Chain A
Amino acid sequence: MGLENPFVPYLATLKSAVELTPDVKLLSVELTDPAIQAGFDYKPGQFAFLSAFGEGEAPFGIVSLPQRKDGLEFAVRLIGTVTRALHELEPGDTLGVRGPFGNHFPLDDYKGKDMVIIGGGIGMAPLRPVINTILDHRNDYGKLLIINGARTPQDLVFAPEFKTWMEAPRTKLELTVDRGDERWSGRVALVPDVVREVSPSPDNAIAITCGPPIMIRFTLTVLRELGFKDPQIVTTLEAKMKCGMGKCARCNVGEKYVCRDGPVFTMEQISQFLEQP
C-alpha cells in the first residue's frame, strides 16, 4: 500500500469501561500498535472517531490528557446506535480510533487569566481536559470557577473528580441540577441562572461553555449581561460529521467546517458565521 488511507482507523483495545452516570461510560482505550500509541499526541478540545465495527463510527471529544499518561479516555453517552455498541464493548474487546482531529482550546493564550468553565451534562466531556490542564499548571492561571449542571445528581459526569477540583487552590466548583433527589442538598437551578447568581467578573477572564444548545444560548445571554465580550467567550460545537477532514461536508456551518476549523470557536467567530449553529 502507498500512502496511508485516512479512513482506516487505528485498531485499539478497550482497557476499561467505567460507568460515570446511568448513561455515560468512561472508555479507556489503548492503540494496538505501541509505536502509534506512543506518538498519539493531542490537545484539550480535540476529538477522535471511535469505531464499533459493525455499527459504524462517531466522533467524541478526548477527555484525557496525554501528559497524565492515564491512557486515551472518552466519555460516551448512550444516545444512538454507535454509542450503544460502544457501551456493549467489554474490556479486551477491539475497537477503532481515528484521529485526533480539529483545533483545540488555546490554553497557552489564557495563561494569567481567570477561567470560568460552564458545562451542562455530557458537555462537561471536552471541558474536563481544560480543567485538568489548568489544575496541572495551577500557577499559570488566575481564579478557576467551574459551574457544572446536569439533569439530576446522578448525571453529573465527573463526580468522582469533584473533590480534587474543589480542593485545588483558588478554585471554586458550583454544582446544580434540574431535579434533585432525597440525598441532594445542593442547588436546583438552571445553569444560566447559576452563572447570573455567581456572577463571575469579566475582567481579564475567559469563559468556556459547552452543553446542550439551549443551555449555551441562555448562558451566552447571561455572560454578555455580566460584561463578557464575545472574544472572551469560547465554546466547542457539535455537528454531524463523518470524515473529520473537511471532505464529507456534513459539518459545514456557513463557510466553516466544525471538524477542521473547529470544534473550538469564540463567540466572536461564531457570530460572524452566515449560518448559526
Chain B
Amino acid sequence: MNLLMSRDDLIHWLELLMRERILLAPTRVQGLLLFQPVSKVEDIAFDFDNTTLPPKGWFLPPTETLFSVRRGDGHTELVPATVEREAVIFGVRPCDAKGIALMDNPFLEEPGDTVYGERRARTALIGLSCRQAMPECFCTSMGSAPDDPSHVDILLTEVEDGYIVRAVTEKGKALLPQGLAEGEAVLPAPPKPQAVPAEGMVSAMRDLFSEPYWELLADRCLHCNVCAYVCPTCYCFDMRDYPDKGNIERVRSWESCQSPGFTRLAGGYNPRATKGARLRQRFYHKLLYFPEQFQDIACVGCGRCVKACPVNIDIREVISDLQQLGAKSGS
C-alpha cells in the first residue's frame, strides 16, 4: 500500500504552502523553465522533463549580497544579509536534489557558510520522479536515479490518479497534509536513462593529466561558461564590492573555471593560462578532485551541459574517452 495524493489534493496543498511560506516551482518564462517563487498554482508547470536551470540558485544565488557597509559620522558598520523566510521548492528532479547534496559538502564543512546553511535548513525539497528520460540524461551512471528519494524531503511519483507520496525526512513529514489515504497504486517502473559507465575513470585520471587530449578537446571551446551556468554541481564563486550611491555591498556571484581571469593574479601572472588547462580543470575538479575530497563524483548526469554547449563538448564522451585512454596507458 502506498500513500496517495490526488491532483486536486496536490493543488490545495500547494496553495496552502504558498500562503505559509515561499513556494518555488517550475514556471515558464520566455521559453525557459525556471524555478521561481509562485503566488498562484496556474503559474506552475507540472508537465516537464527538467527545468532549464537547476534549483541551485536558491541556495547559491547567481549574485547575492553577503553584507552591506554602512557609513556615517566616521563610523562603519557591516550588516550581514538576512536569510529569507521558510521556503519549499516543488518539482525538484532527483538528479538536481543530488546536486544540492553535493554542494553541501564544500559549503557546510567547517567553517560553514552560514548563509547557505540557513537557506538549506529553512528550505524543504519536494521531489518529482521523472516519468521519462531525456536523450541527454545519464543519472543512473552518476549514482542517482529517476526515482531516487535520497536527497529530497518528500518524493512524489506520478501515477494514473495522482501521486504516490513518499515522506523521506522528518522535515517532509511535517509538511504533508493530514489525512492522506493509502491506496493500491503501485510505483511505476522508472525510465531507463542512457548508461555512461564510469568505472575505473577516477583512478585512470591520475595518469591522463598531461595527455594532449585536453588541448585538442578545448580547441573548439569558446569559454562561454554556459556549462558552469547550467550545472547543478558547479559552485565556484567570485566576491566583489559594488559601491552604489554611497552604499557599498560585498557581492558574491557565480564564476566559472573556464573564464581566463579565473586564476589570473593581480599583476598578470596566470598559472592556468591555456584553454586546454582550463577545460581540463573543469573535468578534473568534477571527476577527480571532488571525488577525492568528498567521495562522490561532482556530476549528477542531468545532461544540461551536453544540451547547452554550443560546440558539443559532451561530458559523456569525455568520460568514455578517459576510460579508453586509461585502458591504453594502463596496458
- Which residues of A come within 8 Å of B, CB atoms? 1-9, 11, 51, 53-58, 79-83, 94, 96, 213, 238-240, 242-243, 245-250, 252-255, 274-275, 277
The CA-CA distance from A7 to B81 in the complex, in Å, is: 11
B257 contacts which chain A residues (CB < 8 A)?
A: 249
* Shortest Cβ distance from A80 into B: residue: B266
A53-B69 in contact (CB<8A):
yes
A185–chain B nearest beta-carbon distance, Å: 30
B248-A255 in contact (CB<8A):
no
B58–chain A nearest beta-carbon distance, Å: 18
B117 contacts which chain A residues (CB < 8 A)?
A: 3
Q: Which of B103-117 contact A (CB under 8 A)?
A: 106-107, 109, 111-115, 117
B248-A54 in contact (CB<8A):
yes
With A8-B67, A53-B69, A247-B113 known, 20 other A-B pairs at CB within 8 A are: A1-B80, A2-B114, A8-B80, A53-B248, A54-B69, A56-B239, A57-B241, A79-B267, A80-B267, A94-B76, A96-B78, A213-B269, A240-B263, A242-B237, A242-B238, A242-B239, A246-B106, A248-B236, A248-B239, A249-B285
Q: Is the CB of B59 closer than 8 A to any CB of chain A?
A: no
Interface size bucket, B side? 35 or more
Q: Which of A8, A11, A56, A255 contacts B292 (CB 8 A)?
A: A255
A57-B266 in contact (CB<8A):
no
B240 contacts which chain A residues (CB < 8 A)?
A: 56
* Shortest Cβ distance from B243 into A: residue: A54
B109 contacts which chain A residues (CB < 8 A)?
A: 246
Give the most central of A8, A79, A238, A247: most B CB within 10 Å.
Answer: A247
Supposing A7-B252, A242-B237, A255-B288 touch, asked if A58 and B266 sit within 8 A by C-beta, the answer is: yes
B241-A8 in contact (CB<8A):
no
Jot down 13 A-B pairs with beta carbons below 8 A, ordered by A.
A3-B114, A53-B69, A56-B241, A79-B266, A238-B265, A239-B271, A243-B237, A247-B113, A248-B236, A248-B237, A250-B236, A250-B262, A250-B263
A239 contacts which chain B residues (CB < 8 A)?
A: 263, 265, 271
* Shortest Cβ distance from B107 into A: residue: A247
A255-B289 in contact (CB<8A):
yes
- 1/0 contact string of B249-272 vs chain A (CB within 8 Å): 010100101000011111101011
The CA-CA distance from A57 to B69 in the complex, in Å, is: 13
Q: Is the CB of B136 closer than 8 A to any CB of chain A?
A: no
